[in-house]
């Protein structure tokens, strides 16, 4: 049994599970306010949740900077957004499983004169068989977690110099798959049996833990950071898996899911609504606040993960804890 397993067992509450089940059927709150002239960064914006979210913000007057893998899809998105809504839709091409691409695009955005008003870390993947990045890291961990960690870390000074900014991590109730927490000595699953659900759950737990650290770093500034479960909606996540998985997803799983417009409505509310002014370090199921699982609330492990993440990324720990 892991050292903290007994602690987590004591902290689990049935009421949290029941709340999650109840909240999964709710609709998101609606924000009627516009965001004309705001600059919004969205990763993974050419399909699914990212695409509908890009259209939602653009329809309300926001200018977009989208970080995507595919140049052709990015150019089509730019033409569609700018032609339909009359706003700017710039894009950066980056593979968010590549540390060199992550650092490059993070530095390019950090050097922009314009503020980054809303940042939505949406890019994700789901793999039934493990893949390693060129640097030897678990690909799911890098795309879901380490990419956003590096970007947020490198943007700290820029964001603190702004009057305000909101960071939103598209996480998941799937963080509960990592029921007994992270194994910081084996984040790459070298010594344990890899499963898609456990890898996904660990990456999403890591997101929530990093949020706690960044919330402390941004405290008393105009920057807030929150995570959200985007609802059970259709997306292109999992398309890198084999034909059997894709067939099952298309013919069975997807038929039970809602439109990604639900997620876009929630992300717009979290990014713009005055109800969220000053709210930071929280986890939302769409727009309803929830308590994450005990391993995702462990601040001691969060700071241990912080140090591990800096080491993985080759970053200097120049911030006091």
Total domains, the chain: 1
In the prediction, which pLDDT does 238 show? 44
318 in a domain, yes or no?
Answer: no
Specify the pLDDT at position 99.
98
User: Is 320 part of any domain?
Assistant: no
**Residue 9: inside a domain, yes or no?**
yes
DSSP letter string, 88-133 = -EEEEE--TT-HHHHHHHHHHHHT-SS---EEEE------SS--B-
Find the catalytic residue in 51, 91, 153, 200: 200
- Regions in the chain scoring below 70 on pLDDT: 1-2, 232-258, 318-321
Q: Does 321 map to a domain?
A: no
Residues 6+ apart with CB under 8 A from 96: 43, 44, 67, 69, 102, 123, 142, 143, 147
Catalytic residue check, 200: yes
**Domain ranges, residue 57:** 5-312
Spatial distance between the Cα atoms of 31 and 249, rounded to a whole number of angstroms: 32
Give a yes or no: residue 279 inside a domain: yes
Per-residue CA distances from 47 to 207, 259, 298, 300 (Å): 22, 12, 33, 36
User: Residue 21: which CATH number?
Assistant: 3.40.50.720
Predicted confidence (pLDDT) per residue in 237-263, tens digit: 545 544 443 444 444 444 446 688 999
Rounded (10°) angle between helices 299-313 and 147-154: 90
Is 87 inside any structural domain? yes
The pLDDT of residue 236: 59
Give me Rg for the CA atoms of the chain: 19
pTM above 0.85, yes or no: yes
Name the token pair of 261.
Answer: 């417009």
């Amino acid at each position: 049994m892991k050292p903290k397993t007994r602690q987590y067992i004591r902290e689990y509450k049935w009421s949290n599970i029941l709340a999650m089940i109840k909240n999964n059927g709710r609709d998101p709150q609606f924000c009627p306010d516009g965001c004309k002239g705001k600059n919004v960064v969205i990763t993974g914006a050419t399909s699914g949740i990212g695409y509908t979210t890009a259209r939602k913000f653009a329809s309300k007057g926001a200018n977009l900077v989208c970080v995507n893998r595919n140049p052709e899809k990015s150019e089509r998105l730019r033409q569609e957004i700018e032609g339909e809504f009359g706003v700017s839709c710039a894009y950066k091409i980056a593979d968010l499983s590549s540390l060199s691409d992550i650092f490059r695009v993070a530095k390019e955005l950090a050097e922009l004169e314009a503020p980054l008003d809303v940042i939505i870390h949406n890019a994700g993947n789901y793999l039934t068989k493990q893949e390693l990045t060129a640097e030897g890291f678990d690909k799911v961990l890098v795309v879901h977690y380490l990419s956003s960690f590096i970007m947020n870390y490198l943007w700290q000074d820029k964001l603190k110099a702004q009057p305000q900014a909101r960071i939103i991590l598209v996480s998941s109730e799937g963080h509960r798959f990592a029921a007994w927490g992270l194994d910081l000595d084996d984040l790459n699953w070298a010594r344990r049996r890899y499963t898609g659900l456990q890898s996904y759950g660990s990456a999403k737990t890591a997101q929530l833990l990093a949020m706690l650290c960044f919330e402390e770093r941004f405290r008393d500034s105009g920057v807030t950071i929150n995570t959200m479960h985007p609802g059970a909606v259709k997306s292109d996540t999992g398309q890198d898996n084999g034909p059997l998985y894709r067939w099952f997803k298309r013919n069975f799983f997807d038929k039970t899911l809602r439109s990604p417009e639900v997620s876009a409505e929630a992300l717009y509310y979290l990014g713009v609504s005055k109800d969220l002014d000053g709210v930071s370090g929280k986890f939302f199921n769409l727009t309803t606040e929830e308590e994450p699982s005990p391993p995702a609330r462990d601040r001691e492990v969060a700071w241990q993960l912080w140090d591990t993440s800096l080491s993985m990324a080759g970053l200097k720990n120049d911030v006091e804890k």
